[in-house]
Structure 1
């Protein structure tokens, strides 16, 4: 395809054509005028500097390799000669340099970015645990974009090491029961024994001897109560019975700050209900039933209340309440939602649901995986290395079908991410977007439309699937992967088997697949040895009986994503007893992350979640029970069953009993957000690690001079907002520190938190085009050849085409001159002959 450096020059053609037409109209030598016009156009085209991109493959028999050796303090449990051995083996074959990272912190991301120059390759010898600087995933993506391949060599763990930490809220309510988790991690996956001791303000409150075989074990500690306001300390210590390399990470401090009960307002609350028991016990509850003086309240709980209870001015007051960053919980029953005329009311505008029954079961998280490698063309690379980047109607079809899916009305309530793959995988959507947002949807479609596939020999779908698995694991809930490919995914048997393995694992975890096979030409690379299409076999191999779509010569794909119950996890009909078992649909949300829901409800309000809402708890038939969303700066939760007492029928007694009752307090705490009372001087600061600074924030709600002391030493504060001040502190000792009475815990350095190999590192390396080596021995035998292979690069060079237009203009001009001269000579001879004849 010919392009032009100076396309604006073509405007000169316009006056040439105008002059030419004028001369043709006035003159008689039409052939001469036409030839001059063509010559002028050719010259103008040459001035526009036409060029084409010509691609060539270059390789380096002696690739430049940089070994990044992680020799920070946490690496002491590994064999310390791994990088040296590898360096000695490689430096004899190819230019190799060795970079050593030392000290009490690990900045792997910074090192990868620093040494990714595009003309080299990086070998990373590390445990993969980075605790400062650039994020490793971002750094690997940068290296891939630069053209630097990163290999990962896993060093051998020689010594086991155990670390401990406490997980839980720092701000708690006085006299309320709290749950904390003790997290114990070991470097190896082997059987260990230890005793943990947990102290609250130096009083032993829990102690047990544990046998652990997994890398990480969570020990829940429940019913922890703090009786007085202000600062408290939780401290845990583990005493290993088996070998432990370094005791520095065997003790952990957690600062606790107890506050008064948050103030909430209730409307319509039945004081005899199980809901009331929970609220009155945990919160400072005002039951006036009015919206007057709600500014001092953190949240409002509306219990089984008809829509006409709220005037238009009161609804506006509720909206203002939310826009101030506060929260509302609306509990159902026989006088609310579909029974309370909520549908299309102004009150319903703030809710995450619509009060109408539906079979809707959307809200999926979708990853759209696009094959841009075109394995059809890849076969031709071996014979023609000088081809430019691929331009085929097949790629256009894939991109067009992708956009038809993004714009599908059945998916408006879904979140979607787009990942492309060639020899590597790349996310082009910058995370998940909500398809109900028209602007975001159109922007993504524009990005997809302008994707330009590189011309590559390799097609690595397994890297895209690994990327998709990581994204969907973070999302939770109902998930779907849609693959659009030409079907040539089985050319490399190892890649194909890895892809099936990853997809099978994802499918076992509840993720469904759709494979759209864009068939263009019947080629062997689309079929296995039995003549079956790889794409169809892929779907069957992962355990699905449907989900394969064969399409041909089309730019749209018609799939009924619908709202069928089969898209939901294990939905059932109502049981014979009239119960509807509860299902936790999203276990990663703040409300549900530490709660295992059990039991059933016997009734519910039949509602439809709005676009952008998050369903957390549903019935076994897919009906929403707990749905949340954000409204402005505030938060709203809809509990669409009753308060546990109900009227004539009690729908949800089990929801308010046992472990399930935590769901109510978690929901109210979530809508409250920050439970600290907004008065006086309020300090907020996270606990930190030795050697890691932390930012503290002081908010002055009352007039006064802002002062703050860290362990009796006055801090310098900077004004960062209206009545908001900040300072950065870095305490010089492990233990408890106090900011004018507010506690901050400082624990062992981050370097000792995650000991052993980072289990996420291999998937990150593979997703960004790298290779994993399980040992130095394996790397020594194969990394040099792999580096030579990966040194092959497709180089696009601009080749000027203007000389062809100049030559064409010259030939045309000279040809016209020669022809005209020959005609003149012929005419002269004819005249001479006529003159002689007359004589």
Structure 2
């Protein structure tokens, strides 16, 4: 039984106290005290019974006001009919479109069928098409390749269909035409002296023979061929300036539009970096290879010409108040970067505690590991929706069972002295285990294991419940969301995560499976909640954050490193392995991101934004304690961190045109940096900041074009890029109870429609009536009892 307004139960307390007070008072006045005592003694048992009856009445009424409710499964009978939505876009023309009419005619013999166009032309607005044709309790068969490239997300709309109790299935066709499409993936901005890598992706349907030619500035750098999808790699160092990269397919295929792709790369001179160090350091050789490096023993008077400053093992006393003030302006006002590297003369041993320098950094001096008396409070949210008990990863796997197993693993990993709670959620939140010290909740794993999958998915409902329970919790407060991410109303979940983070609650997200849409939702929840996003295979990072790793670092001489946040720009596609023999004692500030730590939760790499600038801290020393950071397997860490703090290489230019590679027929955005006012006959520019302008336009000519004497690349429409059936569509429609069919399975489609016409759905059942009736019955009993007492007293009086 659940209560809609549980706090109203507490309203009974003052009323019961008032009844108790009134029942103890004697309103009859007596001349003789002995008569009064005899009267009280005689009435005591009667008053006690009356009071108990009144208390029961009040409790019954309070329960009725609290509005108890339950849920029950109700059959919802819909009409046996089918709506077919047909994808008439250009990309679907590689399929047998005439066969769809045959499928419709066969279905029409058994059930009523209506037919509508899902989308058409060179924009596959499939999500918009489904939304515009979707109504409650319908059966829909979508004939599409699932390649949505415009408008609403198809995944979001199908999740909405689930909320409407509608079933969406899909008709899968194999292409009858051969085609090959090419695209280039690579940097838009690079630095002189670095090796630039370009991935040339050829995506095919069928087996069209093709020849591929890749050119950089009119020079052929790759000339090859094939008959199937493949990714080719080209690596080239480039000189300063703009460079044109093009890929051309020569193939006898269905579409000519997608046989050429263009890309423009802007190469900037090496940024200037200032290294401030009191002694020789391995950082010098690493930074000199990639930047124009200046090494100084102290901060020079003029730092304006540097893109970033690296402070290596510098004590707070080595920087004057004026130095720190200049660094603060250099960061906040000018948008430059600062990297502070630890050592035996910095941070906890360098006088950083409560210093001016510490105010610039994402860390404070302190001990990061948990003390015996510290408490971690974690509320685990487990997705028990129907999306967790359907088709998953193309196989019949109960994802809810995977989620329960992960939840048990998270709970088992926590200390017995920590507080833990569990909430299961589908469309609503269901309390499984209230917040309690783990040592006092011995049956928590059994409660998790007994959960059953049912209903839809609304993560925000679970988050709201967890947020309310954790608001007043002690110690470090954490919410751990375990779900596949296939939720309705994801924006609501993001908003709750933001509010939780503002109140000091970190929201971590563990994704079940690897669905791309689910990944986007779960990673956004973690990002807005300032927590970690993890896959189900990597829970070690969560143990570190919750302080539950069983490694006792105080007894060790070496400390294992672990990446906590794999989706930050610095750590993305980066592997860090090995051990350090020491570190500086620091703790991250509330708005900072800890990217790498030891398994004992001691931060090693932490970052944040300071005004317009960026600051990162490596709280160990590659010279003393962490030579592993500069060895081959970890050699990208320090350059990537330095690149991140440097940020935009072009921010100090006199004139610059910034524009990503555009698509024909799509809105393109242009940003201009100029010391002079921009005028153009082609575009209308708007000033957005000092020396910054922006404009938008829709390009119509594919190829290399010029804009304000700057080369730009315009490519074919996205409609021609990805062709063939999107296999992930099967997972998505399964949320609504739908299936994937192929032409020839018309009988199975009819059976599915007839079975889907009767659906089970959860309905809320109001349970106030029994409590109201119970209250009335007890009230009548109290009246009867009082009448009996009055008659008894009258009889006694008459006998006297």
Secondary structure, counterpart of 2:150 in structure 1: coil
Instruction: Return the match for 2:291 from 265, 275, 283.
Output: 283
Secondary structure, counterpart of 1:776 in structure 2: coil
1:171 is displaced (CA, Å) by: 2.3
Normalised TM-score (structure 2): 0.66
Is structure 2 residue 142 aligned with structure 1 residue 124?
Answer: yes
Structure 2 CA distance for partners of 1:339 and 1:138, relative to 1, 3 Å: same
The aligned residue for residue 201 of structure 2 is 183
1:56 is displaced (CA, Å) by: 6.6
Alignment partners' CA distance in 2, 1:662 and 1:267: 21
1:591 is displaced (CA, Å) by: 3.5
Is structure 2 residue 73 aligned with structure 1 residue 62?
Answer: no
The aligned residue for residue 730 of structure 1 is 698
Alignment partners' CA distance in 1, 2:614 and 2:94: 46
CA contact (8 A) 2:594 2:605 kept: yes
The aligned residue for residue 88 of structure 1 is 105
CA contact (8 A) 1:466 1:763 kept: no
CA contact (8 A) 2:174 2:724 kept: no
CA contact (8 A) 1:254 1:687 kept: yes
CA contact (8 A) 2:94 2:177 kept: yes
Secondary structure, counterpart of 2:159 in structure 1: helix
Structure 2 CA distance for partners of 1:439 and 1:589, relative to 1, 3 Å: closer
The aligned residue for residue 687 of structure 1 is 661
The aligned residue for residue 531 of structure 1 is none
Alignment partners' CA distance in 1, 2:69 and 2:692: 59
Secondary structure, counterpart of 1:765 in structure 2: helix
1:694 is displaced (CA, Å) by: 1.2
Secondary structure, counterpart of 1:71 in structure 2: strand
CA contact (8 A) 1:642 1:652 kept: no
Instruction: Return the match for 2:115 from 98, 102, 115.
Output: 98
The aligned residue for residue 503 of structure 2 is 439
Structure 2 CA distance for partners of 1:310 and 1:685, relative to 1, 3 Å: same
1:107 is displaced (CA, Å) by: 0.9
Is structure 2 residue 736 aligned with structure 1 residue 761?
Answer: no
Structure 2 CA distance for partners of 1:668 and 1:795, relative to 1, 3 Å: same
The aligned residue for residue 417 of structure 1 is 481
Instruction: Return the match for 1:655 from 631, 642, 658.
Output: 631
Alignment partners' CA distance in 2, 1:801 and 1:640: 64
Q: Where does structure 2 lack aligned partners over 5 or more consecutive residues?
A: 29-45, 371-375, 390-426, 435-442, 449-461, 527-533, 792-800
Is structure 2 residue 264 aligned with structure 1 residue 255?
Answer: yes
Instruction: Return the match for 1:613 from 581, 584, 593.
Output: 593
The aligned residue for residue 670 of structure 1 is 644
CA contact (8 A) 2:167 2:737 kept: yes
Alignment partners' CA distance in 2, 1:392 and 1:588: 31
Task: Write out per-residue CA displacement over residues 461-512 of structure 1, whole angstroms, 9 at most, x where no aligned residue.
Answer: 9x96566995399869x9xxxxxxxxxxxxxxxxxxxxxxxx9xx76xx335
Is structure 2 residue 742 aligned with structure 1 residue 775?
Answer: yes
The aligned residue for residue 743 of structure 1 is 711
Structure 2 CA distance for partners of 1:769 and 1:322, relative to 1, 3 Å: farther
Alignment partners' CA distance in 2, 1:586 and 1:798: 45
Is structure 2 residue 196 aligned with structure 1 residue 196?
Answer: no
Instruction: Return the match for 1:150 from 148, 154, 168.
Output: 168
The aligned residue for residue 235 of structure 1 is 246
Superposed, 1:395-794 pairs within 5 Å as 412=476, 416-419=480-483, 429-430=493-494, 437=501, 439=503, 441=505, 470-471=518-519, 510-512=537-539, 561-564=548-551, 588-593=567-572, 605-607=582-584, 610-611=587-588, 612-615=592-595, 627-633=605-611, 634-639=613-618, 646=623, 651=627, 655=631, 662-700=636-674, 702=675, 704-707=676-679, 709=680, 713-721=681-689, 724-766=692-734, 768-773=735-740, 775-778=742-745, 780-782=747-749, 784-785=751-752, 788-789=755-756, 791-794=759-762
1:60 is displaced (CA, Å) by: 2.6
Alignment partners' CA distance in 1, 2:161 and 2:763: 18
Alignment partners' CA distance in 2, 1:97 and 1:417: 41
Alignment partners' CA distance in 1, 2:665 and 2:380: 39
Decide which moves more: 133-142 or 632-641.
632-641
1:122 is displaced (CA, Å) by: 2.8
CA contact (8 A) 1:585 1:616 kept: yes
Instruction: Return the match for 1:219 from 192, 207, 232.
Output: 232
Alignment partners' CA distance in 1, 2:2 and 2:539: 44
Secondary structure, counterpart of 2:147 in structure 1: coil
CA contact (8 A) 2:659 2:712 kept: yes
1:184 is displaced (CA, Å) by: 2.6
The aligned residue for residue 416 of structure 2 is none
Instruction: Return the match for 1:300 from 292, 309, 317.
Output: 309
Task: Write out per-residue CA displacement over residues 305-336 of structure 1, whole angstroms, 9 at most, x where no aligned residue.
Answer: 33432345544544444434432223455555
Alignment partners' CA distance in 2, 1:234 and 1:468: 29
Alignment partners' CA distance in 2, 1:573 and 1:806: 69
Alignment partners' CA distance in 2, 1:787 and 1:411: 55
Secondary structure, counterpart of 2:736 in structure 1: coil
CA contact (8 A) 1:696 1:727 kept: yes
RMSD: 6.3
Secondary structure, counterpart of 1:84 in structure 2: helix
Structure 2 CA distance for partners of 1:617 and 1:206, relative to 1, 3 Å: farther
Secondary structure, counterpart of 1:511 in structure 2: coil
Alignment partners' CA distance in 1, 2:495 and 2:103: 37
1:692 is displaced (CA, Å) by: 1.0
Secondary structure, counterpart of 2:264 in structure 1: strand
CA contact (8 A) 1:628 1:637 kept: yes
Task: Write out per-residue CA displacement over residues 494-552 of structure 1, whole angstroms, 9 at most, x where no aligned residue.
Answer: xxxxxxxxx9xx76xx33599xxxxxxxxxxxxxxxxxxxxxxxxxxxxxxxx9xxxxx
Is structure 2 residue 283 aligned with structure 1 residue 310?
Answer: no
Alignment partners' CA distance in 1, 2:134 and 2:644: 43
Task: Write out per-residue CA displacement over residues 404-455 of structure 1, whole angstroms, 9 at most, x where no aligned residue.
Answer: 997999995978435499999999843995999471529x79xx9xxxxxxx
Normalised TM-score (structure 1): 0.63
The aligned residue for residue 538 of structure 1 is none
Task: Write out per-residue CA displacement over residues 597-619 of structure 1, whole angstroms, 9 at most, x where no aligned residue.
Answer: 7xx8796642467455343598x
Q: Where does structure 1 lack aligned partners over 5 or more consecutive residues?
A: 376-388, 449-460, 479-502, 515-546, 548-558, 567-571, 575-579, 824-839
Structure 2 CA distance for partners of 1:761 and 1:431, relative to 1, 3 Å: farther
CA contact (8 A) 2:477 2:505 kept: no
Alignment partners' CA distance in 2, 1:593 and 1:4: 44
Decide which moves more: 256-265 or 404-413.
404-413
CA contact (8 A) 1:353 1:607 kept: no
1:135 is displaced (CA, Å) by: 2.0
Task: Write out per-residue CA displacement over residues 677-720 of structure 1, whole angstroms, 9 at most, x where no aligned residue.
Answer: 335344322211111111222344x3x4322x4xxx43112344
Secondary structure, counterpart of 1:771 in structure 2: coil
Alignment partners' CA distance in 1, 2:294 and 2:185: 32
Is structure 2 residue 188 aligned with structure 1 residue 170?
Answer: yes
Task: Write out per-residue CA displacement over residues 317-359 of structure 1, whole angstroms, 9 at most, x where no aligned residue.
Answer: 4444443443222345555556656577654554456777877
CA contact (8 A) 1:358 1:606 kept: no
CA contact (8 A) 1:69 1:124 kept: yes
Superposed, 1:347-386 pairs within 5 Å as 347-348=357-358, 350-351=360-361, 368-371=381-384
CA contact (8 A) 1:304 1:334 kept: yes
1:300 is displaced (CA, Å) by: 1.4
Structure 2 CA distance for partners of 1:800 and 1:342, relative to 1, 3 Å: closer
Structure 2 CA distance for partners of 1:51 and 1:112, relative to 1, 3 Å: same
CA contact (8 A) 2:673 2:692 kept: yes
Structure 2 CA distance for partners of 1:177 and 1:717, relative to 1, 3 Å: same
Alignment partners' CA distance in 1, 2:272 and 2:364: 29
1:770 is displaced (CA, Å) by: 4.0
